[in-house]
Chain A
Amino acid sequence: MGRNETAHASAEDVGGETEEFDPIGTLTLIAIYFAILVVSWVYIYYIEFLGRDLVIVG
């Protein structure tokens, strides 16, 4: 148990192209969060805020 990156960082891993540790789940989760952020921002700013009447211009 206790598999970690350092323990397995052998000589071949240093500067190698292949990654020993691939947190694909974390990457996917972050990609989903990212998409939610972008979509919410577009909705909140461009549609809800700028789309309303009487935008204050001065």
Chain B
Amino acid sequence: MHIHAYEKLWLAASVLLILFLLGSVTYGAVGPGVAMVSDSEPAIDAGALDEDDRFSEPRVEQVGENEYAAYVVARQFGFQPDPIVVPANSTVTFYVTSADVIHGFEVAGTNANTMVVPGEVSEITVETDGPAEYGIVCNEYCGAAHHAMEGKLEVVSQSAYEERASGGDGE
């Protein structure tokens, strides 16, 4: 069978393109460690969050050296705690659940973004860089005031974080 030289050329190029796309995603997973939103958390009772160890009092707590867990509750129409304060240059795992309907948890302008489903706990781990302030938005239509549902994520320096954690809840 005669195959035209140009046809060989663009067949080879398309195979290279596919390999490049696959290679990029592989590089993302191996190099920067990009992961999917985890499905590892067991289901909880969305109607009884006030009796739940983690979500009765939404908070950020230290769980290891430079590792923090943020327990976040999304409800109509806001996020708790507000603001979510985490230290800079640390590893933060967000455990997000909903007290009522399906919400979204999107740290605006970043890759931290997950659905929040009542009865399920969405777990995402991120690494923070320097101090910054991000907005959090709900990106799933959740009711009449969906457009006003927002929160704040504050990444503060280690010292400022410790000061807040120990000294004052008072602003």
Contact = CB atoms under 8 A, between A and B. Distances in A.
Contacts of B34: 50, 55-57
Contacts of B2: 14-15
Contacts of B91: 57
Contacts, number: 80
B20 interface: yes
Nearest to B40: A58
Interface size class, chain A: 20 to 34
Contact of B128 (A30, A45, A46, A54): A54
A26 to B, nearest CB: 7
A53 B110 contact: yes
Contact of B10 (A19, A30, A57): A30
Given A23-B6, A41-B24, A55-B34, 20 more contacts: A19-B4, A22-B6, A27-B6, A37-B17, A45-B24, A45-B28, A49-B111, A50-B28, A50-B32, A53-B110, A53-B129, A53-B134, A54-B110, A54-B134, A55-B32, A55-B111, A56-B34, A57-B127, A58-B93, A58-B124
